[in-house]
Structure 1
Amino acid sequence: MTVSIIRFGGSNCDRDAERALEHLGIDAEIVWHEDGLPTDTSGIVLPGGFSYGDYLRAGAMAARSPIVAEVREAAADGVPVLGVCNGAQIGCESGLTEGAFTTNESARFQCEHVSLRVERDDTPWTIRYDEGEVIEVPIAHGEGRYEIDDDRLATLEDEGRILFRYCDENGETGPDVNPNGSKHNVAGVLGERETVAVLMPHPERATLPDVGSTDGQGVLRGFEEADSGT
């Protein structure tokens, strides 16, 4: 398989994603957004950064670029799509997933390691973990607070579309371990298909053994799992 990593003006985590995927033996290439999706694309990463300088709202302008329309079509056909940080914002803005990411409760950019609780272990992105397992993954964002109205959140909960929640090292959630004020400590969600996921933390920065935690590897392995029909 070949994972296409979409680079917009302002993307800055595309090379991180490429290196992390290739470390796992997953073929990946960076694709300039104006060039469109390659015909051999079998997976897509919307990487972190500041696409279009975060003008209007983070991810809002990139979500309206022609290649994201191609991404939506590919996702509808079952191609796995992972949006990380700015890519998660793009995913929400484009309708790939529910909700929105907005300014941190602290009104500051936050860069730190956080604990995440795995809410499901039967999706491509989480099958390498156990339900309830706690992993450590870094965040780096100023607009990472997940917001959604109560009715739609209840639907996501009922449909099992919450992937990760911020928690403490014991898996307990609450405001004290919520780094950005995300509703119900939500850190990652699924689209209507389980092959589409967005999350604010950076699994690609917790993949290479020489830079610290490797807890994010399981998320990126989701491309293999989705490709195998998991």
Structure 2
Amino acid sequence: MQFIKPTDWSHIRANSAKPKPRVFIPVFPGTNCEYDSSKAFTDAGAEVEILVVRNRTPDDITQTLSAMEKAIGKAQIIMLPGGFSGGDEPEGSGKFIAAALRNPAISEQIRMLLKHRDGLMLGICNGFQALVKLGLLPYGDIVELTTDSPTLTFNRIGRHVSSYVTTKIADNRSPWLMYTQPGDLHQIPVSHGEGRFAANPDVLKQLIENRQIATQYVDLSGRPTDLTAFNPNGSIAAIEGIISPDGRIFGKMGHSERRGDLLARNIPGEKDQKLFAAGVAYFRD
């Protein structure tokens, strides 16, 4: 099992401060984590805009894309929440979201946000799958995928998994992880059928060299493992989450938004990765 040497990072801040950064959350058919995600950002001090994606008629699609373009133009953060967008069709999870965000006007707004407005993106579970299908992870841009591109595919056990896992911060070289330290352990719920991160040896080597592996599944001793009891989908190098080359985009399978002081009290350990607070603080401090 690949052990990623923990590394730390001196975090940068956005060039323009925003007392109440705006978060855009698109809700696609099948998305089911928008309320938890919205609450997490709202509790952290952000202003959230949720847009329900309508696709029943051509007019619905046109109006939705126009509204999405405007919403991204006003946002500092894009959050792609979990769920089963489009029923995980066609031929795999996240493709429905990716198809919508590849619209030229939408993709241009995303690039403007990330490249020219200090913007951030976060994708959890289905959102992580979409980021990978777009190429935003690991490449940092919306690109055409090749046979060498990494992917998130079916769990090794061949079915959906729903449990708590222990993850470790392998590298905090991202605004999203500014409140964590390398080696920190967290207890995070997972719920997915296609969470196994797969990459060829050359791509994996590059991810390690670029310090893009952010979080890993670990065993009781805190070491990355491929044992199903701790790495329920069988991800290569026990990868649970990765970041873009510049750290602005973070994708992960575990549902960091599913936490609260009165939730899972029978499960010991730290459950708050402070991702949402960190994303907001990036624009505030």
Tell me the TM-score normalized by structure 1. Answer: 0.92
Q: Which has the bigger relative contact order, CA under 8 A and spacing at least 6? A: 2
Q: Tell me the alpha carbon deviations over residues 7-32 of structure 1, each in whole angstroms, 9 at most, x when there is no partner.
A: 11110001110012112222222123
- Aligned runs of 1:31-180 on 2, under 5 Å? 31-33=51-53, 34=64, 35-37=67-69, 38=71, 39-55=73-89, 56-65=91-100, 66=103, 69=107, 70-77=109-116, 78-98=118-138, 99-176=150-227, 177-180=230-233
The alignment status of 1:218 with 2:264, answered yes or no, reads no
Counterpart of 2:238 in structure 1 is 185
**3-state SS in 2 of match to 1:71:** helix
Could you tell me which amino acid in structure 1 is paired with residue 194 of structure 2?
A: E
Query: d(CA) in 2 for partners of 1:49 and 1:76?
Result: 28
Could you tell me which amino acid in structure 2 is paired with residue 79 of structure 1?
A: G
Give how far 1:128 is off: 0.9
Q: Which moved more, 1:143-152 or 1:61-70?
A: 61-70
Give how far 1:212 is off: 3.4
Q: Which moved more, 1:141-150 or 1:73-82?
A: 73-82
Query: Residues 89 and 212 from structure 1, CA distance in 2 versus in 1: closer, same or farther, beyond 3 angstroms?
Result: same
Q: Is the 8 A contact 1:202 1:216 kept in 2?
A: no
Could you tell me which amino acid in structure 2 is paired with residue 110 of structure 1?
A: V
Q: Tell me the alpha carbon deviations over residues 190-216 of structure 1, each in whole angstroms, 9 at most, x when there is no partner.
A: 11321111001111013x222237623
Identity of aligned residues (%): 27
Query: d(CA) in 2 for partners of 1:72 and 1:103?
Result: 30
Query: d(CA) in 1 for partners of 2:156 and 2:283?
Result: 37
RMSD of Structure 2 on Structure 1 (CA): 1.8
**3-state SS in 1 of match to 2:241:** strand
User: Which runs of 5 or more structure 2 residues have no equivalent in the other structure?
Assistant: 1-20, 54-63, 139-149
Structure with max Cα Rg: 2
The structure in which a higher percent of residues are strand is: 1
Q: Is the 8 A contact 1:133 1:171 kept in 2?
A: no
Query: d(CA) in 2 for partners of 1:20 and 1:126?
Result: 15
Give how far 1:73 is off: 4.1
Q: Is the 8 A contact 1:195 1:226 kept in 2?
A: no
**3-state SS in 1 of match to 2:202:** helix
Could you tell me which amino acid in structure 1 is paired with residue 261 of structure 2?
A: P
**3-state SS in 2 of match to 1:203:** coil
Give how far 1:72 is off: 4.3
Counterpart of 2:249 in structure 1 is 196
Q: Which moved more, 1:45-54 or 1:123-132?
A: 123-132
Aligned residues: 228
Q: Which moved more, 1:163-172 or 1:66-75?
A: 66-75
Q: Tell me the alpha carbon deviations over residues 26-71 of structure 1, each in whole angstroms, 9 at most, x when there is no partner.
A: 2222123422141321111001001111112101121011375233
Could you tell me which amino acid in structure 2 is paired with residue 61 of structure 1?
A: F
Give how far 1:110 is off: 0.5
